A and B are shown apart, each in its own frame.
Chain A
Amino acid sequence: MSISLNGVVGRGDFERVLKFSVSDGEVLAITGPNGSGKSTVIHTLAGLIPMRSGQLMADDITWDSSTSNTWVEPEHRTCAVVFQDLRLFPHMNVLANVAYGLRARGMHKDEAEQRSQKMLERVGLKSFEMRRPNNISGGERQRVALARALVLEPRVLLLDEPLSAVDTASRSGLRELLPELLSGFAGATILVTHDQKDVEALATATFGL
C-alpha cells in the first residue's frame, strides 16, 4: 500500500502545509523539534483529526478529502498506531490489550488470543499476559504497545516517538528489537521522532518539519 498526503494539516493554532508519500516496505521518518506538530501528523493519518484542506490517499482510496467531502472513520482505516503516551487500557491485562483490536474487527476470542500470545512472544513478553499495564516497566509497556499495533497486521504502521517513553536502559534493547520487527513488517511505516539515532537505525527516507 502507498500512503500519500498532500495538503494542510493542523490542530488549534498549529497549521502546516505538507506533501509526502510512503510505500510498502519503506520507513519514512518525520523529524522535527518538540512542538513542530509531529503528533498532529500521526493523528491526521489515523483519522483522529481531519485535514484542514487537501487530501489523504491510501492507494486509490481517499481517506480524507476536503474537496470531495470524503472521510473514512478511524476504525475503517487499515493503519495501526503506537501513541507517544502508549494509551494501554489500564483495566485490561496485557493479553486483552493486544487482542482488543482483533476482537473489535470481529475475530473469534480464541484465535485473537492465540495470535496475541505469539506476538507477545515476538516482542519478548511471553509470561506477561496476565499482568496489568500499571504493573510492568516502561520498556515492557512500550513492547505491549508495539505488539498491540503489529498484531493487527496493518497496511500502515504509525509510530509516534516509539522510544520516548522508556528509560535509557530499556531503550537500547528496544533499538535492537524495532528494526527486527520492522524488517518482518510488509506494510508502510511512518515514524515520528526527534531523535537522530532512531532515524539512523530505522528510516529509509526522512522528511523534516
Chain B
Amino acid sequence: MKQRTSPSLKVLAGIAAAFIALPLLSILVRTPWSDLGNMLSQKSTRDALSISLQTSIIAALISCAFGVPLAWLLARSQSRGLSALRVICITPMVLPPVVGGIALLTAFGRQGLVGRFLYDWFDVSLPFTRTAVVMAQVFVAMPFLVLAVEASFRQSDKGLEEAARTMGASPSRVFFTVALPAARPAIMAGLALAWARSLGEFGASITFAGSFPGRTQTLPMAVYELVSVDYRLSLVLSLVLILISVGVLAAMRDRWMVGR
C-alpha cells in the first residue's frame, strides 16, 4: 500500500523546510557574484580565512588526540564518579559559548587560576592570542568528538579485545590494534564534526581571544564586525562558511556514514 501523508502535515513540514532553506538561499541570491573574486582576494578576507582554517584544523586535531583517550576512559572504566566526569565533559555542548569564553578567562587569563602562574613563572599570557582562539575552539568542539567516539567504543565487540588479550597483547596494544581500528568511522565523523564546530566558533573565541584582524579574527568574527560596515563583504564571507559546512556534510555522508 502506498503510504499517504496528510496534507496538513505536508504544509507544516514545508514551512519548517522553507524556514531553514530560505535564509541560506537568500545569501546565495544577494551575494555580489560579479565582485566575488575581488572581495575574496582582499587582505582582510584572506587573513580571516587563513586564521580560521589554521586554528580550526589544529583544534580538531587536538580534540582528537585528547578526546579519543577520554572517550575510551568514559566507555570502559568502571571507576565511580565517572558519570559526573561525563557530565562535566559534555557541558560545553549546551553552554552558551560566551560563558565558555568567560570560563576560559577565569582559568587562563592573567589573573586566572592557572593563568596567573603561567604569567608569573613563564611570562606566558594566553588571552587575546591565536593560541587562545584554538583553546576556545577545543573547549567547544571536543565534547562533540568525545560523545561520538564514546558511543562507538561502547558498542564495539569486547570479545575481540578479550581474544587479543589471550593472544598476548597488552591492554594498550589491544587499544591501538583492535579497539581503535573498530572505532575509525566514528573518529572520522567526530573529527569532521569537531572541525566544523571549531570553524563556526564565535562566542567563546571572541570573549577569550578578541577580534583582532590578522591576529585572532576568524571568519565568523569578521562576518559579525562587517555586518554594519561592509554588508556585501560580510555576505561573501558567510557564503564561504556555508560552502565549507555543506562540504563537511557531503564528505561525511559519502565516506563515513555509508555502510554503517
Contact B168 A104 (CB under 8 A): yes
Number of interface residues of A (CB under 8 A): 22
Chain A residues whose CB sits within 8 angstroms of the CB of B170 once the complex forms: 75, 104
Contact A87 B159 (CB under 8 A): yes
Select from chain A the residue with minimum beta-carbon distance to B161. A87
Contact B159 A152 (CB under 8 A): no
The answer to the question of B181 belonging to the interface, with a C-beta cut-off of 8 Å to chain A, is: yes
Binds B, one of A7-15, A54-62, A77-85, A174-182: A77-85
Contact A81 B169 (CB under 8 A): no
Select from chain B the residue with minimum beta-carbon distance to A158. B166
Chain A residues whose CB sits within 8 angstroms of the CB of B181 once the complex forms: 91
Select from chain B the residue with minimum beta-carbon distance to A152. B167
Contact B159 A75 (CB under 8 A): no
Select from chain B the residue with minimum beta-carbon distance to A77. B166
Which one of B160, B162, B173, B178 lies within 8 Å of A74 (CB-CB)?
A: B162
Which one of A79, A85, A91 lies within 8 Å of B166 (CB-CB)?
A: A79
Chain A residues whose CB sits within 8 angstroms of the CB of B162 once the complex forms: 43, 48, 74, 87
Q: Which of A61-118 contact B (CB under 8 A)?
A: 73-75, 77, 79-81, 83, 85, 87, 89, 91, 100-101, 104-105
The answer to the question of B53 belonging to the interface, with a C-beta cut-off of 8 Å to chain A, is: no
The answer to the question of A27 belonging to the interface, with a C-beta cut-off of 8 Å to chain B, is: no
Which one of B159, B164, B182 lies within 8 Å of A100 (CB-CB)?
A: B164
Q: Which of A129-162 contact B (CB under 8 A)?
A: 148, 152
Contact B167 A80 (CB under 8 A): yes
Complex Cα gap A81–B165 (Å): 10
The answer to the question of B163 belonging to the interface, with a C-beta cut-off of 8 Å to chain A, is: yes
Complex Cα gap A89–B167 (Å): 12
Contact A81 B163 (CB under 8 A): yes
A75-B170, A89-B178, A91-B181 known; A83-B163 Cβ under 8 A: yes
Contact A74 B165 (CB under 8 A): yes
A74-B162, A85-B159 known; A104-B182 Cβ under 8 A: no
What does the 1/0 interface line of B104-132 toward A look like (CB < 8 Å)? 00000000000000000000000000000
Q: Which of B135-187 contact A (CB under 8 A)?
A: 157, 159-160, 162-170, 173, 177-178, 181-182
Select from chain B the residue with minimum beta-carbon distance to A83. B163
Chain A residues whose CB sits within 8 angstroms of the CB of B160 once the complex forms: 87, 89
CB distance from A42 to the nearest CB of B (A): 10
Chain B residues whose CB sits within 8 angstroms of the CB of A105 once the complex forms: 168
* Listed A/B pairs (16) with beta-carbon separation below 8 Å: A47-B166, A48-B166, A73-B165, A74-B162, A74-B166, A75-B165, A75-B167, A79-B166, A81-B163, A81-B166, A87-B160, A89-B160, A91-B181, A100-B167, A104-B167, A104-B169
**A81-B163, A101-B167, A101-B169 provided; 13 other pairs, C-beta below 8 A?**
A47-B166, A73-B165, A75-B169, A75-B170, A77-B166, A81-B166, A83-B163, A87-B157, A87-B162, A89-B163, A101-B168, A105-B168, A148-B167
Chain A residues with CB under 8 Å of chain B are 43, 46-48, 73-75, 77, 79-81, 83, 85, 87, 89, 91, 100-101, 104-105, 148, 152
Chain B residues with CB under 8 Å of chain A are 157, 159-160, 162-170, 173, 177-178, 181-182
